Amino acid sequence: MRTIIPAAILLIALLAVPPFLGLGWQNALVNLLIASLFALAFNLLSGQAGLLSFGHAAYFGVGAFATLHLMIAVEDGLPFPTPLLPLAGAGAGLAVGLVAGVFATKRSGVYFALVTLAIAELFHSLAPHLQGWFGGESGISAMRMPWGGFVFGSLLEVYYLTLGWVVLSILVLWAYTRTPFGRLTLALRDNEQRVRFLGYDAHAAKVVVFTISAMFSGVAGALLAISNETANYALFSAHVSAQVVLHTFVGGATIFLGPVIGAVVFTLFAYIVSDLTRSWLFYQGLIFVLVMLYAPIGIGGVIRHHLRHWRSIDWSRLAAPYALAGVGGAMIAGGVVFLTECVAILFGEEYAVAMRDAGDTLPPFEMAGMSWDPLGPASWLPPILLLSIGGLCLHRARDRIKPLWDAIEGGAAKEGTR
């Protein structure tokens, strides 16, 4: 009940709200859903089975291309229902994942990661040369065809199609975790050797997990192809593979819905911030590093930790230091953004031109609608103040939060042994 009610509210919101949103937001939501499914499929392998893949773009991309080929066939008259197009992505992901999985899972750890990376790179380097399959450098395109009274012309229709497939896939992946094989997947991560001495063919099991993960990645790729009506070899790039790793680990690889949290946060972040600054990829990387350093269990892990101890948390005592930490964090973020944007401007092309025009001096620059003198102390005072006061706030907040949490966790430990 505790999970069903919030899930139902979320689903109703996802169904009811989008018609009232602009195209930009609708598009962002489609991308958010696709990224969520991709991260969840990826985490089946990396989080649940403990096999970290650095090349999941391969199965995502293959799913997209297979779907476009099917769409081209539909354009040419093949009677295939448009809502079922993602089956092509699932099939392609499954087939390619099976072959790749047989080889990749022969190794584990770093070597597994390197093999998966190499497989994705293989696709990335071959695709531009394979005109028939991947459309060369420019890629392939196809139109969504009307089916059964639906035109599939509007973004909203695409959104609902995507939502349906993503929700269905998440339910299937959730059910998977409760089957005998789903439990075996966790056992593989925990202690692969022991699994073998209990009569399981560990290699075969890993191939199956790999294949299922690739299959759902293929569905995610298919949804992207349906939404964009085009794809090119860039889908196979290391950037795509890295993105899904980032989403998963920032969200929390040890929690079923953690990857979804990461995907939502970063897709929204990209949608909002990429219009404001060209440094957004840098900020994204910075967030990843900070989460790995200070909350390696991810955002989902932090949330779960709070939910677990919810009853023993005394918010009247914790709220103030949390607010202080929030203020400190915001100030540090402000300082970092200020400095990053200054650096981006000062080392940018436009400023180089301005410098040449101004002779050998450093002319003032524009930022956030104000003019700043690069040599004036007044320009550097704000970030220095933000960083130092913010740091002080965080330090004080931590000193107050830590004993409170020690008490909460200590109490829980005592309860456990009783």
**Residues engaged in binding another protein (CB under 8 A):** 175-176, 178-184, 186-187, 190-191, 193-202, 204-205, 208
Residue 88 backbone class (left: φ over 0; alpha: ψ -120 to 50; beta: rest): alpha
Nearer to another protein, 178 or 311 (CB): 178
Q: Where are the alpha helices (DSSP H) in 19-75?
A: 23-43, 57-75
CB of 16 vs another protein, minimal distance in Å: 31
- The minimum distance between CB 185 and another protein, in angstroms, equals 10
Nearer to another protein, 33 or 195 (CB): 195
- Here the tokens at position 12 are 């109703």
- Residue 218 to residue 197: CA distance in whole angstroms: 33
Minimal distance, residue 2 CB to another protein, in Å: 18
Query: Please, which residue, 49 or 225, has the CB nearer to another protein?
Result: 49
Q: Which is nearer to another protein, 189 or 309 (CB)?
A: 189
Q: Report the 10 Å Cβ neighbour count for 230.
A: 16
Residue 304 beta carbon to another protein: minimum distance, rounded to whole angstroms: 15
CB of 36 to another protein, least distance (A): 22
Tokens standing for residue 131: 């005109």
* Nearest one of 88, 114, 33, 45 to 231, comparing CA atoms: 88
Q: CB 145 → another protein: shortest distance, Å? A: 33
Compute the distance between CA of residue 187 and CA of residue 12 in angstroms, rounded to an integer. Answer: 36
Beta carbon nearer to another protein, 195 or 219: 195
Shortest Å distance, C-beta 243 to another protein: 28
CB within 8 Å of 268: residues ≥ 6 apart: 28, 32
What SS3 state is found at 413? helix
Helices (H), 137-279: 155-176, 180-190, 192-196, 202-228, 238-251, 258-273
How far, in Å, are 161, 280, 295 from residue 289 at the CA level? Answer: 35, 14, 10
Closest CB 169 distance from another protein, rounded Å: 15
Given the complex with another protein, which of 49 and 270 has the nearer CB atom?
Answer: 49
Which of 199, 403 has the CB closer to another protein? 199
Which tokens is 6 given? 């919030």
**45 DSSP 8-state letter:** I
Q: Which is nearer to another protein, 173 or 387 (CB)?
A: 173
Is the CB of 172 or the CB of 319 nearer to another protein?
Answer: 172
CB of 189 to another protein, least distance (A): 8
Task: Pick between residue 200 and residue 269 the one whose CB is nearest to another protein.
Answer: 200
Spell out a b/e string for 248-287, using b for 16 or more CB atoms within 10 Å of the CB, else e: bbbbbbbbbbbbbbbbbbbbeebbeeeeeeebeeebbeeb
Bridge-based pairing state of the strands 370-372 and 365-367: antiparallel
**124 conformational bin, left if phi > 0, alpha if psi -120 to 50, beta if neither:** alpha
Taking the complex as a whole, how short is the minimal distance between the CB of residue 211 and another protein, in angstroms? 12
